[in-house]
Structure 1
Amino acid sequence: MLAAGALAASTAMAAAQDGGQLNIYNWGNYTSPEMIEKFEEETGITVTVTDFDSNDTALTRIRAGGHGFDIVVPSNNYVPIWVEAGLLQELDPEEIPNMANIAERWRDVPWDPNRTHTVPWQWGTTGVIVNTSVYEGDIDTSAIFLDPPDELKGKINVIPEMTDVMNMTVRYVGGEQCTEDRDILRQARDKLVEAKQHWIALDYGTVDAYAAGDIAAGVYWNGASMRARLQNEDLAYGYPKEGYPIWMDSAAILTDAQNTENAKKFLNFVLEPENAAMISEFARYANGVEGSDEFMPEDMTTAPEIVVAPEHEEAAYFSVTCPAETQQLYTQIWTELLR
């Protein structure tokens, strides 16, 4: 026992002496501080996490260069754009052996076949959140933010994630995601411009604002909605019957990373089931790592924001990468909306 203890202490000391830096660029309020602390203690690597608020923000900053980041966490429908632009390193499973822990469902995915560039971080849905003490009507509809009832006008927040909001609006007016139908896109643009007068903000970091009752409704992600509901039981998450997206965010190493070896250690670390569960416990999303269930918080196994009821399953669609032309049209509409 003494020899084993000495060996463990020696191994931990050697790991701590590896040292160095690691700079992560991730969605805001999405990285478990406890998980980062554990990684730093085990490796001696100092981690800095910088937030972004949308896929477009992240992509624009990295394309501009001179950013200093090693790891980025884009959503599935943006990963092909990053890969095609040559912004992500290829991953070698021999250097990241815990890639074997990726759940079968998430191993060979359309946006990153055979996981050549990314590993799972978290996955979930985008829907609507409503304070039921303010509004008692149907919440399973995108009308909450596009044709809001009087009780919610002036109390609505919309996440600044262009593709999700655009596709939810396109579905609301009768189209399909990534449509190139100009008539449908005109209807979507007009609906968004008309609805915006009833919004209070386009912001992503609003868990506390919902919990405090400062915002009564909006477009939000399921995990963040659960975190808000745990602080305010009047909050409820709705699954728009017109259609709502399923997505997965994945971690990748940037081509111009300055700390590539440390980045590989981190990706391997987050693919350990217990560490993946730490991210889920903080962010309140599922993670895509086999064996993590036994470490997951019990309340996530029954949470209405996490467990999709059968009656809501048909309205779900998996986010895809829109063709360049559609992306350009979406961007034009979004730019007009933000004026």
Structure 2
Amino acid sequence: MTRTLTLTTALTFLAGAAAAQELQLYNWGNYTSPELLEKFTEETGITVTVTDYDSNSTALAKIEAGGHGFDLVVPSANYVPIYVEKGLLMELDHERLANIGNIEPQWVDVPWDQGRMYTVPWQWGTTGISVNTSAYDGDINTSAIFLDPPDELVGQVNVVPEMADVMSMAIMYVGGEPCTEDLEVLREVRDLLAAAKPDWMSMDYGMTERMTANDVMASVNWNGSSMRIRLDNPDVAYGYPVEGYPVWMDSVGILADAQNVDEAYLFLDFIMEPENAAMISGFARYANGIAGSGEFMPEDMNTAPEIAIPAEYADAGVFLPTCPSSANDLYTQIWTELMQ
């Protein structure tokens, strides 16, 4: 049952606290609806400042270093257990979250946060391949687009600097499984990435604008970004690698050293209202985990090929697990070499 946050409710809640009337959100770039923040400020009087990051590893390193000043962070599912293990997230008091029951059942007892003790849903989607079909009209449902680029795309391919996604796609491409510690498989992955890199243009994450402007012809990319590109540049299509592609969910948690805790709770409750969750999705073009939000979503998301996974590629999607530190150490070695 949805319970609406009103201005009166918010101000009453904050009246007894030494509220700073501000909130610091640390989130992925180009991922937060400005209209959502405006609405939140109108209803609560709380100003939200958003600081962007470009990868899970970047965010984790910043939070671990301390002195960051952030209240909320939005890690991907496979990173949430790392935050919890390191004591970086505050355990949630569900009594302070009237809308916690709006989370869709399949997103409640999730492997990375059983019972949603530390996080609530933000958005979920897939990592695949965005390709400008005016430059290449071949098969785009393969990771070969970036691991063995066709001649038409050599020097025009971008790879997002997200280790877990890229490493997992490369591992699945050679027949392995995410989190493998098989050294033979990892040597093959290392050599494959090293051989492919000279054929890439860049390793950046801001592809929505660059592919819209035809500055990049192909990229490892996220499905919502690809949909936003296509709406402005119909030549761009989204491919689901048959060898395997990541499925992910990003969730919001309150940091253990948050300064604006009351405000953070209000924000979490606010984004679990269906209409507000739909605002998040309508901006970034990803699905969310909030029941009832569908009726408020843009109609074009219901049939978009980037959102509604074609049946023939559905089984190739793999929800990335949290890899053990021993596996992450191996991947980091390969990634460090790749980034040099």
Assess same fold via TM > 0.5: yes
Please tell me the residue identity of whatever aligns with 1:82.
Y
- Relative distance call for 1:12 and 1:105 in structure 2 (3 A) is closer
- Relative distance call for 1:257 and 1:146 in structure 2 (3 A) is same
1:12 positional shift: 7.9
The 2-side partners of 1:57 and 1:121 are apart by 19
For 1:305, what is the secondary structure of its paired residue?
Answer: coil
1:320 positional shift: 0.5
The 2-side partners of 1:251 and 1:63 are apart by 17
- Equivalent runs, 1:168-317 vs 2, <5 Å: 168-317=169-318
Conservation of the 8 A alpha-carbon contact between 2:272 and 2:290: yes
Q: Which TM-score applies when normalising by structure 2?
A: 0.95
- Equivalent runs, 1:43-82 vs 2, <5 Å: 43-82=44-83
1:310 positional shift: 0.7
- Relative distance call for 1:260 and 1:314 in structure 2 (3 A) is same
1:9 positional shift: 8.1
Gaps of 5+ in 2: 1-5
| Pair 1:335 & 2:328 matched | no
Conservation of the 8 A alpha-carbon contact between 1:15 and 1:43: no
- Relative distance call for 1:177 and 1:208 in structure 2 (3 A) is same
Measured against aligned partners, the alpha-carbon deviations of 1:266-303 in whole angstroms (never above 9, x if no partner) come to 00000000000000000000010011000000000000
The 1-side partners of 2:114 and 2:7 are apart by 40
The 1-side partners of 2:273 and 2:325 are apart by 36
8-17 or 143-152, which deviates more: 8-17
For 1:121, what is the secondary structure of its paired residue?
Answer: strand
The 2-side partners of 1:298 and 1:242 are apart by 31
Displaced runs of 4+ in structure 1, greater than 4 A? 8-19
Q: Which residue of 2 aligns with 1:124?
A: 125
> Once the two structures are aligned, what percentage of the paired residues are identical?
64
1:13 positional shift: 7.2
The 2-side partners of 1:9 and 1:179 are apart by 50
The 1-side partners of 2:70 and 2:91 are apart by 16
- Relative distance call for 1:72 and 1:9 in structure 2 (3 A) is closer
1:11 positional shift: 6.3
Paired residues, number: 332
The 2-side partners of 1:105 and 1:23 are apart by 29
Conservation of the 8 A alpha-carbon contact between 1:16 and 1:45: no
Taking only aligned residues, the RMSD between alpha carbons, in angstroms, comes to 1.4
Q: Which residue of 1 aligns with 2:165?
A: 164
1:20 positional shift: 1.2
The 2-side partners of 1:322 and 1:224 are apart by 26
Measured against aligned partners, the alpha-carbon deviations of 1:21-48 in whole angstroms (never above 9, x if no partner) come to 1000000000000000000111001110
1:338 positional shift: 0.3
The 1-side partners of 2:251 and 2:23 are apart by 17
Measured against aligned partners, the alpha-carbon deviations of 1:74-112 in whole angstroms (never above 9, x if no partner) come to 000000000000000001111011111000010110000
Please tell me the residue identity of whatever aligns with 2:221.
Y
